[in-house]
Amino acid sequence: MSIRWAVRLACVVAMATAGSVALGQSKAPRVKLTFVSSASVIAPNEPFDVALKFELPDGFHIYWENPGDSGLAPKITWNLPEGFRAGAVRFPAPERHVSSGLVTNILKGCFLLQRGFVHSGCGHVSERHLPGFGWQ
């Protein structure tokens, strides 16, 4: 993993934990995010998956792609270099959560948000050109 990817991952973790600090909690929960790829080498026109592996502490969750009565689905923005195509983000099955009469769909514990990619073979691919991402 390059320094650039490590810095990006650190920013994602910082954003994921910032909400609890803003709420006045004395200690932010430890959210662990890992960037995972199904391919060690990118071959032209061969599909591969990239995933964000979430490990959330007990009592914390994020919302599913269809959050239900409240909440917002996570938004992941990818900055793709020329020649890359991306599929839709794939979410695992959610857990139904009821609170104050509202029904939401949540993800908690350990899970993956995956997305498929293909590189057309046009242009040079190196570690510094791998797809970048942003988290919201």
Distance from C-alpha of 13 to C-alpha of 27, rounded to nearest angstrom:
15
Distance CA 108, CA 97 (A): 11
Ordered by where they begin, the domains of the chain are 3-135 (2.60.40)
Residue 14 pLDDT > 50, yes or no?
no
Rounded to an integer, the average pLDDT of 55-73 is 94
* pLDDT at residue 72 in the model: 94
- The predicted-structure confidence for 99-117, as pLDDT tens digits, reads as follows 999 999 999 999 999 999 9
Distance CA 90, CA 116 (A): 9
* Of 3-12, 58-67, 82-91, 108-117, the least confident: 3-12
What's the pLDDT tens digit per position in 41-54? Answer: 888 899 999 999 99
Strand partners, 9: none
- With cut-offs at 50, 70 and 90, classify the pLDDT of residue 98: very high
Task: Please give the structure tokens belonging to residue 87.
Answer: 């599929």
> How far from each other are the two terminal CA atoms of the chain, in whole angstroms?
22
pLDDT surpassing 90 at residue 122 = no
Pairing of strands 61-68, 76-79: unpaired
d(CA 111, CA 55): 7
